[in-house]
């Protein structure tokens, strides 16, 4: 009989010597952390159960927030049950791979019975076919490009397994060219947008969630065919506020040791705002970014907001 994998925290400490800022390797033209690319055939062969739910995002678009909302909705707002384990163990990250004995997303999933909630950052064309064949529900969360970029920049500073972000100005260029882990933000948000009706994807915006969290929690609830009382919905909104999640050790990623997430450089729960990009972009950078944005987004009309 196989042993249950170690917890993330224990395993990361054991693997300390083999952890590094992994380079990116392309899979079908999309740059991914090299350990993910190395296991690509088993990742793409993953077959979910029809009852499994996928939460898909470009990195730093509000994944953890949405994971917490979904977990609470599925457990009728029971705060204690939702503190049973850190996010990464409650809702495995499908494609994540790291040196042993850190459990991969696939290993964690093997030990969980459906219905499972699964996280991915894969662009739609790389999502394992089984999700579409089995008509799994998919929640996609998108965040406006400038705030998403700022958040990813700070994340790459503190996540010591991601490539070095380098200087801010160069990071903007990398983002615009799609030279970051999981590739182009532009292709990512467009890919899911174009397929959202055909594939019954619930497409959410971070800005809408900030503006009116209750409305968006209810949208998710309806999509999941759940019906919770008003009091429970209020409780979920409160438990998933930035402030409360920042202090929740099962949701704020303090369970990841400093050798991977160095929160003294930048906290995982950093600001949680719309419009922080104005504190980072110079007027010239903003203009250059906007001109390029128009070109890259010319074929779609996705209602992103950079302020609320
Ligand atoms: P900032 O870096 O702008 O603060 P992800 O979970 O996809 O990695 O996204 C992380 C971003 O979502 C971070 O953005 C983080 O602070 C923000 N976030 C996490 N929980 C949040 C919440 N409850 N409300 C608002 N923003 C949240």
49-75 pLDDT tens trace: 999 999 999 999 999 999 999 999 999
CATH number assigned to the domain comprising residue 115: 3.40.50.300
Mean pLDDT of the chain: 96
The sheet that has 53-57: what strands, in order across it?
117-120, 53-57, 137-142, 201-205
**Cβ 245 under 6 angstroms from ligand 1:** yes
**Cβ 57 under 6 angstroms from ligand 1:** yes
What pLDDT does 104 receive?
A: 95
Q: Answer whether 193's CB lies under 8 Å from 124's CB.
A: no
**Which SS3 state, helix, strand or coil, does residue 236 take?**
helix
Q: How many CB atoms lie within 10 A of CB 301?
A: 8
Q: Is the pLDDT of residue 2 over 70?
A: no
Please report the DSSP string for 118-140 in residue order: EEE---GGGS-HHHHHTT-EEEE
pLDDT tens digits, residue range 248-257? 999 999 999 9
Q: Is the pLDDT of residue 215 over 60?
A: yes
- On whether residue 188 sits in a domain, the answer given is yes
**Distant-in-sequence, close-in-space partners of 90: CB < 8 Å, separation ≥ 6:** 67, 71, 82, 84, 117, 250
Q: Answer whether 214's CB lies under 8 Å from 237's CB.
A: yes
**Cβ 240 under 6 angstroms from ligand 1:** yes
What pLDDT does 6 receive?
A: 73
Q: How confident is the model at residue 16 (pLDDT cuts 50, 70, 90)?
A: confident
Q: Answer whether 149's CB lies under 8 Å from 172's CB.
A: yes
HSE on the CB side for 187, CA within 13 Å? 18
Q: Is the pLDDT of residue 299 over 60?
A: yes
- On whether residue 305 sits in a domain, the answer given is no
The whole-angstrom separation of Cα 220 and Cα 137 is 11
Which candidate in 75, 121, 188, 280 is catalytic? 121
What pLDDT does 132 receive?
A: 98
**Cβ 246 under 6 angstroms from ligand 1:** no
Nearest atom (ligand 1) to Cα of 245: 23
Nearest atom (ligand 1) to Cα of 270: 4
Closest-CA residue to 235 (of 69, 83, 85): 69
What is the number of structural domains in the chain? 1
Q: Is the pLDDT of residue 127 over 60?
A: yes
CA of 27 to the centre of ligand 1 (A): 27
**What residue's CA is closest to ligand 1, atom 23?**
242
Q: Is the pLDDT of residue 260 over 70?
A: yes
**Bond before 6 cis per omega within 30 degrees:** no
**Cβ 132 under 6 angstroms from ligand 1:** no
**Which SS3 state, helix, strand or coil, does residue 49 take?**
coil
**Cβ 144 under 6 angstroms from ligand 1:** no
What pLDDT does 7 receive?
A: 76
- On whether residue 23 sits in a domain, the answer given is yes
CA of 149 to the centre of ligand 1 (A): 12
- On whether residue 49 sits in a domain, the answer given is yes
What pLDDT does 38 receive?
A: 97
Instruction: Examine the residue annotation and report whether 121 is marked as an active-site residue of this protein.
Output: yes
Candidate from 55, 59, 65, 152 with most ligand 1 atoms within 8 A of CB, to mutate:
65
- On whether residue 214 sits in a domain, the answer given is yes
- On whether residue 1 sits in a domain, the answer given is no
Q: Is the pLDDT of residue 95 over 70?
A: yes
CA of 134 to the centre of ligand 1 (A): 30
- Give the domain range for residue 162: 8-296
- Angle value at C-alpha 195, between 156 and 134, nearest 5 degrees: 95
What pLDDT does 4 receive?
A: 58
Q: How confident is the model at residue 290 (pLDDT cuts 50, 70, 90)?
A: very high
Q: What is the mean pLDDT of residues 289-308?
A: 98
Candidate from 57, 58, 59, 62 with most ligand 1 atoms within 8 A of CB, to mutate:
62
Q: Answer whether 142's CB lies under 8 Å from 63's CB.
A: no
Angle between helices 168-177 and 145-158 (to 10 degrees): 120
- On whether residue 208 sits in a domain, the answer given is yes
**Cβ 272 under 6 angstroms from ligand 1:** yes
- On whether residue 3 sits in a domain, the answer given is no
The whole-angstrom separation of Cα 196 and Cα 200 is 6
Closest-CA residue to 152 (of 143, 48, 240): 143
**What residue's CA is closest to ligand 1, atom 5?**
60
What pLDDT does 9 receive?
A: 85
pLDDT tens digits, residue range 180-202? 999 999 999 999 999 999 999 99
Q: What is the mean pLDDT of residues 213-231?
A: 98
């Amino acid at each position: 009989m196989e042993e249950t994998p170690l917890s993330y925290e224990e395993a990361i400490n054991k693997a300390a010597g083999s952890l590094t800022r992994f380079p990116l390797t392309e899979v079908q033209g999309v740059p991914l952390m090299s350990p993910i690319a190395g296991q690509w055939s088993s990742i793409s062969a993953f077959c979910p159960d029809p009852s499994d739910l996928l939460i898909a995002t470009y990195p730093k678009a509000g994944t953890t927030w949405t994971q917490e909302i979904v977990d609470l909705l599925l457990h009728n707002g029971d705060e204690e049950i939702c503190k049973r384990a850190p996010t990464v163990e409650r809702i495995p990250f499908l494609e994540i791979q790291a040196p042993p004995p850190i459990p991969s997303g696939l290993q964690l999933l093997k030990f969980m019975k459906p219905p499972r909630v699964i996280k991915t950052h894969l662009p739609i064309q790389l999502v394992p076919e089984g999700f579409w064949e089995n008509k799994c529900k998919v929640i996609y969360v998108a965040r406006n490009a400038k705030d998403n970029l700022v958040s990813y920049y700070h994340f790459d500073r503190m996540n010591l397994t991601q490539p070095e972000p380098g200087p801010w100005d160069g990071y903007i260029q990398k983002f615009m060219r799609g030279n970051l882990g999981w590739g182009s933000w532009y292709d990512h948000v467009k890919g899911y947008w174009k397929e959202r009706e055909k594939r019954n994807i619930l497409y959410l915006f971070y800005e809408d969630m900030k503006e009116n969290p209750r409305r968006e929690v209810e949208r998710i609830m309806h999509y999941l065919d759940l019906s919770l009382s008003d009091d429970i919905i209020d409780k979920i909104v409160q438990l998933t506020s930035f402030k409360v999640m920042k202090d929740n050790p099962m949701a704020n990623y303090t369970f990841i040791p400093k050798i991977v997430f160095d929160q003294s450089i930048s906290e995982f729960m950093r600001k949680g705002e719309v419009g922080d990009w104005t504190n980072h972009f110079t007027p010239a950078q903003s203009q250059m970014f906007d001109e390029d944005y128009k070109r890259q987004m010319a074929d779609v009309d996705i209602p992103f907001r950079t302020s609320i």
